[in-house]
Amino acid sequence: MDFLQRVQDLPLLGIGVSTEYGAARAEGALDVFALAERRPDDAAFLELGVEVAKGFDDDARRWIASGRPTTYHFLDVNLDDAPGPGGDLDDAWLAGLRELVAMAKPAWLCGDAGLWHFGVRDRAHMLLLPPILTEESARDIARGVAFLREATGHEVLPETPPGTAFVGDLHLLEYFARVAEAADTGLLLDVAHIAMYQHVTGRSPLDGLDAFPMERVVEVHVAGGVVRDVDGFSVVDDTHGTEVLPGTWAIFEAVCARAKNLKAVVFECERNRTDTVGIGLDRIRDTWRRNGGAV
C-alpha cells in the first residue's frame, strides 16, 4: 500500500504542543496539563521529544498514563546511517525505541532529518545540523526512513531541520520532496525552519513551495524566532518563543491552503508560560480552519 493510501488511516490529531525530557520543570515553562485543562482543543496531543538513552520523564509518563494522544519525536538518530551494527539504527537502539513506542502508543514517529550527533552516538556529541542537500544524501535519508517504518510498524515523518548554513546543490524543499518520493513517506514541515532557510539563503518566504508535494504533508510545526546579526551575517535564531516571524506565518498559510492530508499542527512553545501562548494558538487555529482544516 502506498503512502497516499496509508495516510487515510492516520488519525486527525488537531493542534498540540511539544515537550522533551525535563522541559516542563524549567522556570517559566509551559504547563501542558494546565493548557489541556484551559484550552483542551489546543492541547489535543503532546509531541514527545525523546532520546532513547533518557526515555520519558515523569510528566511525559503522566500524559501517557492519561491515555491522551501522542506523537514520538526522535532527538537521537541520524537517518542517513546505514542500518546494522556500528550505526545509529542498530539492534540495541531499535529495542529501546520499540519499548518506548509500545509505552506511548504514538500516532506516528517523526523528527528532524539532519545530524543529531557527529561520529558515534554519544550524549556529549548531541547537536543538530542540516543534511547535505544532495541527491545522494536524500537517498540515504529515504533509506533510513523506510527502514525505521518497517522496523517499528509506524509511519516515520522526516522533518525539515533548522540551520544557519546549508551545503549542497538542492533547495531544502526540493531535497525533502526527493526524500518523500524515494521513501514513499509523509513529511513534517517545520515552517519556522523553512523560514530560516529562506532567510539565510536570501530567498522569499514562499520560494519553492509551488512545486512541493503538499499532499505528503501530515504534520506542521510553528514556532517563534528572532532575526539576529552575527558579524554582519543575518540569521534566524529558532527560539521557540511566542513571537512568530511574518515569513513563518506566510509559509504556514500557504501550506494550509494546499496540504489536504494535514493531520496535526504543533505550536512549539514549551519554553513559555502557559498564559502567553494563546495568541499563537488562536492564529494557528484560525489559519488552518480558514483554509479548510477540520479543527
- In the 3-class helix/strand/coil scheme, how is 127-166 assigned residue by residue? EEECCCECHHHHHHHHHHHHHHHHHHCCCEEEECCCCCCC
Q: Are 58 and 31 in contact (CB under 8 A)?
A: no
119 or 264, which is more confident? 264
What rounded mean pLDDT belongs to the chain? 95
Indicate whether 137 belongs to any domain.
yes
Q: What is the pLDDT of residue 273?
A: 96
On the question of pLDDT at 105 being above 80, the answer is: yes
pTM, rounded to two decimals: 0.96
Q: Is residue 236 situated within a structural domain? A: yes
Domain count of the chain? Answer: 1
In the chain, pLDDT over 90 holds for what percent of residues? 88
295 domain residue, yes or no: no
Q: What is the pLDDT of residues 29-40, one digit of tens each?
A: 999 999 999 999
Q: What is the mean pLDDT of residues 96-104?
A: 98
Q: Is residue 145 part of a domain?
A: yes
What average pLDDT does the segment 92-106 reach? 97
Q: Flag whether pLDDT at 223 surpasses 80.
A: yes
pLDDT at 118: 77
Q: Is the pLDDT of residue 121 over 90?
A: no
Q: Give the distance from CA 91 to its chain's centroid.
A: 24
Give domain status of residue 2, yes or no.
no
Q: Model confidence over 235-283: pLDDT tens digits? A: 888 899 999 999 999 999 999 999 999 999 999 999 999 999 999 999 9
- Residue range(s) defining the domain that contains residue 167: 12-287
pLDDT at 56 > cutoff 70: yes
Q: Higher confidence at residue 5 or residue 85?
A: 5
Mean pLDDT to the nearest integer, 134-147: 98
Q: Which of 139, 87, 142 is nearest to 116 (CA)?
A: 87
pLDDT, average across residues 4-9: 98
- What is the per-residue pLDDT for 86? 78
Confidence of residue 125 (pLDDT cuts 50, 70, 90): low
Res 124: pLDDT? 62
Asked if residue 62 belongs to a domain, the reply is yes
Statement: residue 150 has pLDDT above 70: yes
pLDDT over 90 at 286, yes or no: yes
Residue 108's domain is classified under what CATH number?
Answer: 3.20.20.150
In a domain, 7, yes or no: no
Let me know: does 259 contact 214? Beta carbons within 8 Å. Answer: yes
CB-count burial class (<10 Å; 0-12, 13-18, 19+) for 122: exposed
CA distance 138 to 22: 33
Measured between its terminal Cα atoms, the distance across the chain in Å is 28
Within-domain flag for 281: yes
CA-wise closest residue to 162 among 189, 118, 128, 202: 128
What's the average model confidence in pLDDT over 213-232? 94
